[in-house]
Chain A
Amino acid sequence: MTDRRYQEAAFEDVMSTVEFRVSPRPHITVDTDVCRSCTTKACVHACPADLFVPTSEGGILFNYEQCFECGTCYQVCDGEGAISWSYPDGGAGVVFKRG
């Protein structure tokens, strides 16, 4: 399992292969105040796009722009009111070509 000859591409490069039609409206917002008291930080491990970044004060930095719109974060989060979740407006957001 340690054959590292084929180096994994950096995560940013992987994400740059995906097309996002970024809408001005953030379709997901995260209330970092609620996150401060969260012990699981489930979102940090589960979000496939790696959009939840823990801050040194125990909060969360979140940017909606490269979101896959999968729904994982609101499903795994049990911080009441931490995540306001919706789909981006029609036509905006992720566009998969080889999904």
Chain B
Amino acid sequence: MTHAGPDSVSTVVDETTKTFDVVVVGAGPAGSAAALEVARAGYSVALVERGPFPGAKNVYGGVVYGRILDELVPRWWERMPVQRWVTRRATMVMTPTQALTLDFRTQDWGKPPYNGATAHRADLDSWLAELAVEAGAVLVPSTVVTGLLRDHAGAVVGVRTDRPDGDLTAGVVIACDGVNSFLAKEAGMYRTGHEAEHLTLGVKQTLALPREAIEERFAVSGRDGVDIEMLGCTRGIPGGGFLYTNLDSVSIGVVLGLTGVSKAKTRPEELIAELKRHPAIAPLIKGGEQIEYSAHLIPEGGYRAMPELIGDGMLVAGDAAAMCLAAGIWLEGVNFALGAGMYAGRAAAAALKAGDVSGQGLAGYRTMLERSFVLADHRKLRDLPGLVLSDRMQQNYPGMVCDLVQGLFQVDNPLPKPGLRTLLRRSAKDNGVRWRDLVRDGWTGMRGLR
């Protein structure tokens, strides 16, 4: 018996009768959206998940941006298992002793149709999978897909699972098996490999805090909530930090470039501990009791690191296709997974209807992705992942920005106030920033956001 891992291999099978029209692997947001659309189109679909329930294996920072849900689930905000609605978003640039925060709040985001919400994956993923089941999908939990089934020509015709007699044959297999996607790799869709430099490790602690304490400390009330992203809190290891509010807990963690963390002689939990002691963070989480610790990989390579998305009889969606958008410390993946899964489901249904599940028959998937935010945003922001994970952004800019602002705000009289240009030159020099790099990085950043 083989198991699902980097060494997964395909099995060649003779012509078979289909168990399902479509098999979706992985009941994360991508998989559930895909299964939902296939079921809605009237085709039979199995949604196979290795966890005992959807979400059991999944970890993220904590915020879902809901706009794509408008298309999938009408009035989703009335049904989604939400912790808090994000009405305040803050970005913090920090050094061990300084913190500069850009803090934005709007009550518009606290009412329908809402913008972002915090939710736990166990709740969110289970809810999404339940929507697919209501539409007619068959959820198969506690089941690992161990490899692909192919016909003699090499086309994908189903999956092998770790259940006894567990082969499931299908017209189309949609791989939504997340960042490690052994299926996309087995199918040869990653030509360059899903290498470590495109991956970050997210490590998170959930801290219980009384609801009133959260409302007081984060200056929100009712179901309003806050997300804070941070740069400069990872001792120069490429990455960043996050702090999100739930109803009666907060999620705090760091995201670390994989090659950086394995070289630095620092362990991830030490970095979280340090972040928790930071003077700008400690008062917010004081007394919080740790109730869970978790970790997961993130595909941060963006557009340039994406694999082939379509094969004969197979589509790849979500993190399995590196569709997580990490334009810096802002991490969006659930919305991209939902969008990609939805289009994959539609493309599979269209191919079945036309009676052509070859790569050509499934090509509508790529067109739909390109016309939507999924690939458009990725293409537009293709240079940002590298910029934010660069040494300068990690090691030099946070200090430069904090020193600059400290210089602006500090009152030194009777010495005369230094001019902005002097301050800028001084803070750049003190933090080892060269003008040439600053101008170039500024240009890349602006172009990315254009």
Contact = CB atoms under 8 A, between A and B. Distances in A.
A96 B144 contact: no
Given A1-B279, A4-B277, A40-B262, A18 B59 contact: no
Contact of A98 (B5, B122, B297): B122
A45 B269 contact: no
Interface residues of B, number: 66
B294 A68 contact: yes
Nearest to A73: B262
B261 to A, nearest CB: 5
A34 interface: no
A15 interface: yes
A23 to B, nearest CB: 11
Q: A interface, by DSSP: helix, strand, loop or mixed?
A: loop
B3 A97 contact: no
Interface string A18-44: 100100000100000000000010110
B268 interface: yes
A96 B161 contact: no
Contacts of B210: none
B292 A91 contact: no
Given A97-B120, A99-B60, A85 B5 contact: yes
Nearest to B282: A3
A80 interface: no
Interface residues of A, number: 46
Interface in B168-199: 179-180, 196, 199
B57 interface: yes
A87 B4 contact: yes
Given A46-B258, A96-B59, A74 B292 contact: no
A11 B34 CA distance: 39
B277 A3 contact: yes
Interface string B289-303: 011111111000000
Nearest to B83: A98
A90 B57 CA distance: 11
Interface in B243-289: 246, 249, 251, 258-259, 261-269, 273-274, 276-279, 282, 286-287
A3 B282 CA distance: 8
A98 B277 contact: no
Given A4-B277, A48-B203, A90 B294 contact: no
Given A14-B290, A68-B59, A97-B292, 16 more contacts: A1-B277, A6-B277, A15-B293, A17-B293, A18-B294, A27-B3, A72-B258, A74-B5, A76-B259, A84-B5, A90-B161, A91-B143, A96-B58, A98-B249, A99-B120, A99-B122
Interface of A: 1-4, 6, 8-9, 11, 13-15, 17-18, 21, 27, 40, 42-43, 45-46, 48-50, 68-72, 74-76, 84-91, 93-99
24 contacts: A1-B97, A1-B279, A6-B277, A6-B282, A17-B292, A40-B262, A40-B263, A45-B266, A46-B262, A48-B201, A49-B295, A72-B201, A75-B199, A75-B297, A89-B3, A89-B162, A90-B162, A96-B59, A97-B292, A98-B120, A98-B121, A99-B60, A99-B120, A99-B296
